[in-house]
Structure 1
Amino acid sequence: MRLLGTVVTLVALVVVVSGCLGGSLLATGTTSSSQTFTEGVNDFGLRLVKTLWEQEGGNVFLSPTSIALCLSMVAHGARGETQREMHETLGLAALTPEEVKRQSARLVETLNTASSGVTLYTANALWAREGIPFYQTYLEDLKTYYRAEAETVDFTDPATIPRINQWVREKTRGTIPTILDRLPENAILVLLNATYFKGKWETAFDPAHTQDLPFFPENGTPKDLPTMWQEGSFLYLETEDFQAVKLPYADERFGMYLFLPRKQDGLGAFLGKLSESALEDWIAAMEKRQGEIFLPRFRVTFERVLNDILIALGMENVFNPFRADLSGMLPVSPSANAYLSEVKHKSFLEVNEEGTEASAVTSGIIAITAVPLPGERFTMRVDHPFFLIIRDERDGNVLFAGAIENPEGS
């Protein structure tokens, strides 16, 4: 099954948390721009999941929020057509660069929260190469609006990559051990975002009811997976095409939504109809129903370099060594132009009787062309490919999203 990630939690291009952001930054965004930002990022994440699944199949799980935060940090240093393309691909074309910056600050602030039932945080960091004359205004803006921790390091030092990976490991609580295995010789900046979510169900699944039941992949042999069971009153929706149910977490601000196509091979058709507006309509139409749910206990990991898919979605110039305009980051010349050389995303999801743990990391490497040195009772049996999201109910942000084609038991 394919998994997507939302934003939960998820992990973008540059990032490390360094202290609380002042409330003044959060208060400056209007409700309208806040909604536009949320809808744009959600739509970007859903399009990303759909396109990845259509191209590759299998499990696709990612954090739209993480990727968007990371890319918006890059876009903050972009200018002209490069910035326009990036904002358009991210679903933020209707916002000014100033609004994108302030809404990013709002999102970073809202994603750092903790309660008795849920732990959620995002962290951003940038690792700049020694000797590169980055504009201080750019670096300071990332620290102020993205809470990014900035450090200047020697990219030729063998200890640099282990240090970056150690940061990733710490911020994801060990669920994602590494993000980098090498740095290109012409790399000048690494941007990182790590997003982490751990939530207990409002009502835990009783392990005594977990049993091995068959799961039927769209292609492949059925397999027995440890399958949890629960009955009760749930927000529920059924159409001629799918069933949907919400599983709330102990902190009612968050919930997991499961979408199960009626047909065993129906995930592709479901994703074809999926959009940000359709998702909101489906959620709004859900009503309380008594019923039971069977859900596999599973763990999924996902890793992709996103360059090609982002280019296909319209983000072309920033990856082009000769057309990219990142002149808001540092002075450039025709013989030494900065560009985005790689965007990599890693994510982790585990669903069990107690709740959910999910994390994501996005790395963005900036390189340079020349380096200076109540109804009827229902039964919902999730026994074939399905779709899920983890959603922040307060703002509507999709923290994680996933199309699960073939879950692995844990």
Structure 2
Amino acid sequence: MKPFFLKTNRNAKTVENLFVLSVFIFCFSCISGEENSPSGKVEANLRELSLDENRLSESNTRFATNLFQQLVSNGDSKNLFFSPYSIHQALAMAMNGNDGEVLEEFIQVLQMEGMSLEEANQAVKDLTSFLLEVDPKVQLSIANGIWYKEGYEVRIPFKDAAKHYFSAEIAPLDVYDPNSVDIINHWIEKQTDNLIKDMLDIIPEDAVMYLVNAIYFKGDWTYNFPKENTRKEKFTLGNGQEILVDMMNLGESAGFKAYGTSEYTYLEIPYSSEQYSMGILINESGNLSELYPHFTLENLTEWRSNPRDVNLILKMPKFKIDYRIDNLSNDLQAMGLVRPFSFHKDNFTQLFSNPTDDLKISRVIHQALIEVDEKGTEAAAATIVEVVETVSLPPDSTPTIFTLDRPFIFFIQEKHSGAILFMGKLENPLEDD
């Protein structure tokens, strides 16, 4: 059994309270709080997941944690937000244009070892359908689009796979027309409820295909934060500096799932029917570099499988993050996807039926936005894979107040499958104001 620590202040009295709290959780089952009942809770549309769906969900989660570790490896202390599900799905579409050793690189980086291409594609289709239907009160859309250079001929098997497994819209594009960039941008805006705008800057003349994924999420908290409870309160940055932020406050006790050790606390903040939740990983120091080594698939599986039921009066900051990655190529190459980013005769051999010069991925652009307030969370993201041609052309019954008043890692996840749709880190709630 693991002790569970909740740090809310940095004084001796708090340490004493935390010790008492950990003893209670060590020894007793939780007594559910009744003060703050779920608002508009509905029953989830659950079904048993297939073996391949479970394998794909694990692949998605492992890819998510690996990519997160890669993105934070530069030690940047700024906010971060992205959708690993969107990136995973866009690359999975691109994977279908390859075979041989290049296909194997995609499979390894996307953590799909042991699955055939057909099994992986079917699992993508089935898991996406499950995520879209599991909670009728959560707004979720996942869309795919493919544009190819006018005059080129897309192979029928690739086109069929894109349509059947990814429900992708496929259309030719005049890459020489400067206005063509608006076609892709307007599609992304529409799919993300106008949150992601003007994402694609230019279309180079050597571009032959764009594979695009867009994802949109909007969910109300199971326990809404009353707006009148929001106050200016202190938030301590990783460097120790204190700033004033809009701190939301439930005001009444509510039940949460949590897991903790002396080094960190994991907390799930549920949406709607509790199938979707925002996972939080926080420590006492606020130094996120100390948390990164703990954020692994294995630990996440343990936290999800063996949480404690706790009663808390939760306080957390309102925040908004608008984040863009101009090119993920270096990060993906560091993770093992190397060949597709250099011109090579073996790249994308299953993409076009007409002869082409050597192809490569020139850019993987990603943009994501999240806004968290008293009612819930709205988030959106899009991923563009640009392919170009070489130019030859138990707690105490007294509720604990738990305040997220220092930097933390967060992610939006679905409980039954374990899939992670969005993730990031909040270093400074005022950074994107």
- Please report the TM-score for the alignment, with normalisation by the length of structure 1: 0.88
Range with greater deviation from structure 2 (211-220 or 108-117): 108-117
Secondary structure in 1 matching 2:225: coil
Give unmatched runs, 5+ long, in structure 1: 1-26
51, 60, 76: which one aligns with 1:32? 51
Contact 1:111 1:122 in 2 (8 A): no
Contact 2:226 2:249 in 1 (8 A): yes
158, 162, 171: which one aligns with 2:178? 158
Question: How many Å apart are 1:154 and its aligned residue?
Answer: 0.8
State the match for 1:311 in structure 2.
Answer: 333
> Residues 187, 220 of structure 1: CA spacing in aligned structure 2 closer, same or farther, 3 A cutoff?
farther
State the match for 2:69 in structure 1.
Answer: 50
Contact 1:53 1:59 in 2 (8 A): no
1:336 aligns with 2:357: yes
The percentage of aligned residue pairs carrying the same residue is: 26
State the match for 2:169 in structure 1.
Answer: 149
Contact 2:175 2:204 in 1 (8 A): no
Superposition map of 1:157-196 within 5 A: 157-196=177-216
> Residues 242, 264 of structure 1: CA spacing in aligned structure 2 closer, same or farther, 3 A cutoff?
same
> Residues 371, 200 of structure 1: CA spacing in aligned structure 2 closer, same or farther, 3 A cutoff?
farther
Once the two structures are superposed, residues 340-376 of structure 1 have per-residue CA deviations (whole angstroms, 9 ceiling, x without a partner) of 111011001111000000111000011111376x323
> Residues 362, 263 of structure 1: CA spacing in aligned structure 2 closer, same or farther, 3 A cutoff?
same
Contact 1:113 1:119 in 2 (8 A): no
269, 293, 301: which one aligns with 2:322? 301
Q: Which amino acid aligns with 2:152?
A: I
> What's the Cα RMSD here?
2.0
363, 375, 378: which one aligns with 2:400? 378
1:216 aligns with 2:226: no
Contact 2:341 2:362 in 1 (8 A): yes
State the match for 1:20 in structure 2.
Answer: none
Once the two structures are superposed, residues 252-295 of structure 1 have per-residue CA deviations (whole angstroms, 9 ceiling, x without a partner) of 22111111112222x11211121112101012221211122210
Once the two structures are superposed, residues 210-237 of structure 1 have per-residue CA deviations (whole angstroms, 9 ceiling, x without a partner) of 1111212213742211000123222122
Contact 1:243 1:380 in 2 (8 A): no
Q: Which amino acid aligns with 1:76?
A: N
Range with greater deviation from structure 2 (278-287 or 55-64): 55-64
Contact 1:347 1:361 in 2 (8 A): yes
Question: How many Å apart are 1:178 and its aligned residue?
Answer: 2.2
> Residues 212, 324 of structure 1: CA spacing in aligned structure 2 closer, same or farther, 3 A cutoff?
farther
Contact 1:388 1:403 in 2 (8 A): yes
Once the two structures are superposed, residues 12-68 of structure 1 have per-residue CA deviations (whole angstroms, 9 ceiling, x without a partner) of xxxxxxxxxxxxxxx9x9832222211111111111112111215222211111111
Q: Which amino acid aligns with 1:400?
A: F
Range with greater deviation from structure 2 (140-149 or 324-333): 324-333
Once the two structures are superposed, residues 81-117 of structure 1 have per-residue CA deviations (whole angstroms, 9 ceiling, x without a partner) of 1110111011112211111111111133223348553
Contact 1:49 1:403 in 2 (8 A): no
Superposition map of 1:16-95 within 5 A: 31-57=50-76, 58-95=78-115
Question: How many Å apart are 1:170 and its aligned residue?
Answer: 0.8
State the match for 2:25 in structure 1.
Answer: none
- Whose Rg is larger? 2
State the match for 2:278 in structure 1.
Answer: 256
1:245 aligns with 2:245: no
CA distance in 1, matches of 2:236, 2:368: 24
Question: How many Å apart are 1:329 and its aligned residue?
Answer: 0.7
CA distance in 2, matches of 1:112, 1:284: 23
> Residues 55, 329 of structure 1: CA spacing in aligned structure 2 closer, same or farther, 3 A cutoff?
same
State the match for 1:107 in structure 2.
Answer: 127
CA distance in 2, matches of 1:123, 1:286: 33
Question: How many Å apart are 1:118 and its aligned residue?
Answer: 1.0
Q: Which amino acid aligns with 2:301?
A: E
Contact 2:98 2:349 in 1 (8 A): yes
Superposition map of 1:363-374 within 5 A: 363-370=384-391, 374=394
CA distance in 2, matches of 1:169, 1:236: 36
Secondary structure in 1 matching 2:73: helix
Secondary structure in 1 matching 2:72: helix
1:271 aligns with 2:288: no
Question: How many Å apart are 1:332 and its aligned residue?
Answer: 7.4
302, 307, 324: which one aligns with 1:286? 307
Contact 1:317 1:323 in 2 (8 A): no
Contact 2:144 2:211 in 1 (8 A): yes
